[in-house]
């Protein structure tokens, strides 16, 4: 169904993964979904199939596509049911048990906040909420369970699929970022669009998702550039604005206002301590940090084993590794019982 509608949209396509995510969410809010627990009862499954097929087969028939037979679908679902049901249990209850045991809980998001169905570049978005607070909604753990929110952003900007992209580069620099950064979509391997770092979007995302700290990745992708631009505000109809407007027609019209930084023209690959970075690289990182308006930044080296750099409480830079972050980020968030959501 996802593929059929995307092809029928022509120039209006939004660039879906064609994996059925949208139709699945539509079935959910339309109260016609088949849920995991429905596989426990053949009678209940039979009723749920009647409901969902009444909807989808009508659409498929209207588009001249093959319709599905209930009995065959039921047979296929009952065949795989035992393998799926053995993993089924109340998620909220399991998480509550972990909380009582003082275990650390990590919620990891797979998509950026600008793909959020409510807060993103609608309609060029995914079908769900991707903001940090949805970790509580989706799992039933309670909003007070999330004690620290870590946002992940690259040292430049990328996007998969269609939609507004204010800082997009369609020139040789954009190609270089894509090549050096190996920018291909995780699900579909589609080539990602690349552009300069967008400080406006990052600031907006921090506010919307309640982000406490930033992890800056892929700094070394910028190593070969003579100069690096950073978007600090937008211009819309001759006026300066510091946010992404909600209307897609305005999103497509905005012009980025850049601040230019000199490149460092040397490799940062493998550097694991802030003081060893080229001066211009440090200046760029500080500019990202100041633009994002966060108190500290965690830096990941993309082509090396995971290592992190973060300031200590006195504000000086210290070299730390992933074990340090795991053991101490709870202290940074003033929480002994760590729950994190990765943007």
Q: Please tell me the predicted confidence (pLDDT) of residue 293.
A: 61
Q: Please tell me the predicted confidence (pLDDT) of residue 313.
A: 38
5-40 burial: b if 16+ Cβ within 10 Å, else e? bbeeeeeeebebbbeeebbeebbeeeebebeeebbe
Q: Are the CB atoms for 259 and 232 separated by under 8 Å?
A: yes
Task: Give the integer Cα–Cα distance in Å for 296 and 310.
Answer: 7
Task: Give the integer Cα–Cα distance in Å for 183 and 160.
Answer: 9
How does DSSP assign 238-275, residue by residue? TEEESS--SSHHHHHH-EEEEEEEE---S--TT--SGG
How does DSSP assign 27-90, residue by residue? HHHTT----GGGGG-HHHHHHHHHHHHHHHHHHHHHTT-PPPPHHHHHHHHHHHHHHHHTT---
Q: Please tell me the predicted confidence (pLDDT) of residue 18.
A: 76
List phi, psi (to 5°) of 29. Answer: -75, -20
For residue 343, the SS3 value is coil
Task: Give the integer Cα–Cα distance in Å for 17 and 288.
Answer: 31
List phi, psi (to 5°) of 340. Answer: -130, 150
Q: Are the CB atoms for 290 and 278 separated by under 8 Å?
A: no
Task: Give the integer Cα–Cα distance in Å for 162 and 129.
Answer: 18
For residue 159, the SS3 value is strand
List phi, psi (to 5°) of 2. Answer: -60, -50
Token code pair at residue 125 = 């978005």
pLDDT in tens, the chain (343 residues): 777 777 766 666 666 777 778 888 899 999 999 999 999 999 999 999 999 999 999 988 988 888 999 999 999 999 999 999 999 999 999 999 999 999 999 999 888 899 999 999 999 998 999 999 999 999 999 888 899 999 999 999 999 888 999 999 999 999 999 999 999 876 667 789 999 999 999 999 999 999 988 889 999 999 999 999 999 999 999 999 999 999 999 999 999 999 999 999 999 988 888 889 999 999 999 999 887 764 445 554 333 333 343 333 333 333 334 444 444 444 433 332 323 323 2
- Cα torsion through 179, 185, 189, 190, rounded to 10: -80
Q: Please tell me the predicted confidence (pLDDT) of residue 9.
A: 67
Angle at CA of residue 219, ends 195 and 107, nearest 5°: 90
192: DSSP letter: P
Q: Please tell me the predicted confidence (pLDDT) of residue 115.
A: 92
Q: Please tell me the predicted confidence (pLDDT) of residue 15.
A: 67
Q: Please tell me the predicted confidence (pLDDT) of residue 161.
A: 82
């Amino acid at each position: 169904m996802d593929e059929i509608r995307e092809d029928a949209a022509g120039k209006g396509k939004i660039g879906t993964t064609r994996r059925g995510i949208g139709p699945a969410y539509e079935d959910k809010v339309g109260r016609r979904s088949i849920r995991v627990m429905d596989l426990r009862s053949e009678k209940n499954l039979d009723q749920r199939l009647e409901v969902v097929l009444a909807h989808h087969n009508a659409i498929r028939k209207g588009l001249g596509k093959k319709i599905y037979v209930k009995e065959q679908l039921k047979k296929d679902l009952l065949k795989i049911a035992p393998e799926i049901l053995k993993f089924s249990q109340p998620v909220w209850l399991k998480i509550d048990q972990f909380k009582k045991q003082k275990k650390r809980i990590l919620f990891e998001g797979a998509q950026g906040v600008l793909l959020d169905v409510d807060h993103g570049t609608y309609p060029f978005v995914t079908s769900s909420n991707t903001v940090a607070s949805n970790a509580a909604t989706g799992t039933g753990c309670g909003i007070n369970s999330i004690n620290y929110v870590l946002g992940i952003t690259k040292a430049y900007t990328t996007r998969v699929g269609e939609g507004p992209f204010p800082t997009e580069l369609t020139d040789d620099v954009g190609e270089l970022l894509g090549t050096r950064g190996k920018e291909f979509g995780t699900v579909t391997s589609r080539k990602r669009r690349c552009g300069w770092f967008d400080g406006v979007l990052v600031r907006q995302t921090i506010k919307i998702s309640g982000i406490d700290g930033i992890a800056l990745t892929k700094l070394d992708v910028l190593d070969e550039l003579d100069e690096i631009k950073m978007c600090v505000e937008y211009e819309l109809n001759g006026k300066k604005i510091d946010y992404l407007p909600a209307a897609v027609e305005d999103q497509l019209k905005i012009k980025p206002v850049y601040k230019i930084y000199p490149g460092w023209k040397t490799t940062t690959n493998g550097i694991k301590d802030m003081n060893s970075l080229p001066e211009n690289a440090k200046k760029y990182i500080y500019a990202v940090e100041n633009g994002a308006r966060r108190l500290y930044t965690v830096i990941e080296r993309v082509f090396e084993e995971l290592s992190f750099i973060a300031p200590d409480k006195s504000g000086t830079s210290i070299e730390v590794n992933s074990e340090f972050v795991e053991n101490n980020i709870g202290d940074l968030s003033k929480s002994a019982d760590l729950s994190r959501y990765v943007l």
